[in-house]
C-alpha cells in the first residue's frame, strides 16, 4: 500500500500499477478510519482491481461553528486500517493541493434535496461535499465510488450530481456498520462521554421500534407521523438528547410523505446532538435495511 500526498504522485503511482487496463474504486473519506470505512474498502476491493482511499478533512463542508479544527486526524492509523482492508493507495493531500490559490469554482446541487434534513441546519455543507467529491472524481477518475448509507442524504445528493453532470462513475452505497451495542460507527463517536454514548443508543433503538411498528398490523402502521412519533419518543426520553430532526421521507427524493404506500420504501432519518457531538442515523422502512 502506498501513501501519496500530491496529485502528481497519485497519477504516477496509478500508472505504475497499470491503471489503464484495470478497474478502479474510490473510497472518499475524511480520515480517522474505522470499521465502517474498512467495509467500504473491502467492497471496493471485491469489485475492482485497484482501490484508492482519499483521506482528506475537507474544510469547505464545515460551517464556522463546526468542528473542523478538532476533527480527529491520524494518518499513520489510517494507513494501517486502509492497508488491512485492501487499499492500494491512500491519497492524503494538503488543502492547498486541492484548493489551489485563487480557486473560486464550486459545484452545487441546488433545490430542496440539499436544503432539508442535514442541509437545513448546515447550509453550506452539501456544496462543500459535492465540490470535493466532484474534484476527487476528476483527479482519481474511478470507475466506482463507495459511500456509507449512514450518510443517506449525501448518497442521494452525490447520485444527483453524477447524473446531472454525466460523470462516468457508478455510485455504490454500502450498509451501515454499527458498534456491538447498536451505535452507528462514526469518527465523532470518540467525542461522546460514557453517559452520552449510552443515551445515544436511543437512536438505533428508536429506529428499530419504527421498523417493528411498521411491520405490525395496526391501522396506522404506515403513517409517517406515527412512525416519527415512535422514534422521537424513544430518543426524547434521554435527558442529554437534543433532537435536530426526526423524519420519514422518500428514499430517492427525500420528499416528505404522509404514509408508506404498499410496495414502496421510505427512509427514516434522525439527527441528534449530545452535548457538542452531532450524530446521525437512519434505516429503510418497507424493504431490506440499508440497501
DSSP-derived letter for residue 183 is P
Mean pLDDT of all residues in 244-253: 97
How far apart are the C-alpha atoms of 112 and 249, rounded to whole Å? Answer: 13
Map grid coordinates 455504490 to a residue.
172
**CA 94 to each of CA 4, 5, 55, 87, 97: distance values in angstroms, whole numbers, following the listed order:** 11, 7, 10, 20, 5
> 196 labelled as ligand-binding?
no
> 34 labelled as ligand-binding?
yes
> 37 labelled as ligand-binding?
yes
- What are the φ/ψ torsions at residue 77 (nearest 5 degrees)? -60, -40
> Each residue of 213-241: pLDDT tens digit?
999 989 899 999 999 999 999 999 999 99
C-alpha cell at 26: 474510490
> Each residue of 13-35: pLDDT tens digit?
999 999 999 999 999 999 999 99
Q: Which residues have a catalytic role annotated?
A: 37
End-to-end Cα spacing for the chain? 30
Confidence of residue 291 (pLDDT cuts 50, 70, 90): very low
Mean pLDDT of all residues in 60-72: 88
> 186 labelled as ligand-binding?
yes
Residue 51 reports pLDDT greater than 80: yes
- What are the φ/ψ torsions at residue 55 (nearest 5 degrees)? -125, 90
> 199 labelled as ligand-binding?
no
Confidence of residue 160 (pLDDT cuts 50, 70, 90): very high
**pLDDT of the residue at 290:** 42
Mean pLDDT of all residues in 95-109: 96
**pLDDT of the residue at 244:** 98
Domains defined along the chain, listed by start: 2-174 (3.40.50.620), 189-286 (3.30.1300.10)
Average pLDDT of the chain, as a whole number: 96
Mean pLDDT of all residues in 111-133: 96
Mean pLDDT of all residues in 74-92: 98
**pLDDT of the residue at 65:** 77
Mean pLDDT of all residues in 89-94: 98
Three-state DSSP class for residue 72: coil
Mean pLDDT of all residues in 247-272: 96
How far apart are the C-alpha atoms of 75 and 55, rounded to whole Å? Answer: 8
> 36 labelled as ligand-binding?
yes
Confidence of residue 140 (pLDDT cuts 50, 70, 90): very high
> 63 labelled as ligand-binding?
no
Residue 209 reports pLDDT greater than 70: yes
DSSP-derived letter for residue 256 is B
> 9 labelled as ligand-binding?
no
Mean pLDDT of all residues in 200-222: 96
**Cβ within 8 Å of residue 73, ≥6 positions away:** 31, 32, 57
Three-state DSSP class for residue 88: coil
> 1 labelled as ligand-binding?
no
**CA 215 to each of CA 153, 208, 285: distance values in angstroms, whole numbers, following the listed order:** 24, 11, 9
Q: How far is CA 167 from the centre of its chain?
A: 20
**Exposure string for 51-60, b = 16+ CB within 10 A, e = fewer:** bbbbbbbbeb
Three-state DSSP class for residue 147: strand
Mean pLDDT of all residues in 175-198: 97
**pLDDT of the residue at 288:** 55
pTM: 0.95
> 90 labelled as ligand-binding?
no
> Each residue of 258-268: pLDDT tens digit?
999 999 999 99
Mean pLDDT of all residues in 234-254: 97
How far apart are the C-alpha atoms of 155 and 24, rounded to whole Å? Answer: 19
Amino acid at each position: 500500500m502506498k501513501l501519496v500526498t500530491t496529485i502528481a504522485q497519485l497519477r504516477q503511482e496509478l500508472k505504475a500499477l497499470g491503471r489503464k487496463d484495470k478497474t478502479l474504486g474510490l473510497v472518499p473519506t475524511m480520515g480517522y478510519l474505522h470499521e465502517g470505512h474498512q467495509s467500504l474498502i473491502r467492497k471496493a476491493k471485491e469489485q475492482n482491481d485497484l482501490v484508492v482511499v482519499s483521506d482528506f478533512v475537507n474544510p469547505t463542508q464545515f460551517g464556522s461553528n463546526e468542528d473542523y479544527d478538532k476533527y480527529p486526524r491520524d494518518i499513520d492509523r489510517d494507513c494501517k486500517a486502509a492497508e488491512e482492508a485492501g487499499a492500494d493507495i491512500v491519497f492524503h493531500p494538503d488543502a492547498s493541493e486541492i484548493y489551489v490559490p485563487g480557486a473560486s469554482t464550486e459545484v452545487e446541487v441546488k433545490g430542496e434535496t440539499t436544503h432539508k434534513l442535514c442541509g437545513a441546519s448546515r447550509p453550506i455543507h452539501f456544496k462543500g461535499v459535492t465540490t470535493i467529491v466532484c474534484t476527487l472524481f476528476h483527479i482519481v477518475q474511478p470507475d466506482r465510488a463507495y459511500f456509507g448509507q449512514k450518510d443517506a442524504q449525501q448518497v442521494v445528493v452525490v447520485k444527483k450530481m453524477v447524473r446531472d453532470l454525466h460523470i462516468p462513475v457508478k455510485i455504490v452505497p454500502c450498509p451501515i456498520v454499527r458498534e456491538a451495542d447498536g451505535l452507528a460507527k462514526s469518527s465523532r463517536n470518540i467525542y461522546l462521554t460514557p453517559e452520552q454514548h449510552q443515551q445515544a443508543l436511543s437512536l438505533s433503538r428508536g429506529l428499530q421500534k419504527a421498523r417493528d411498528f411498521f411491520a405490525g398490523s395496526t391501522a396506522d402502521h404506515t403513517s409517517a407521523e406515527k412512525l416519527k412519533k415512535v422514534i422521537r419518543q424513544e430518543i426524547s426520553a434521554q435527558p442529554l438528547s437534543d433532537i435536530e430532526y426526526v423524519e420519514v421521507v422518500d428514499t430517492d427524493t427525500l420528499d416528505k410523505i404522509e404514509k408508506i404506500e404498499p410496495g414502496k420504501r421510505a427512509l427514516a432519518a434522525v439527527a441528534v446532538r449530545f452535548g457538542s457531538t452531532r450524530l446521525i442515523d437512519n434505516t429503510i422502512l418497507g424493504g431490506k435495511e440499508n440497501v
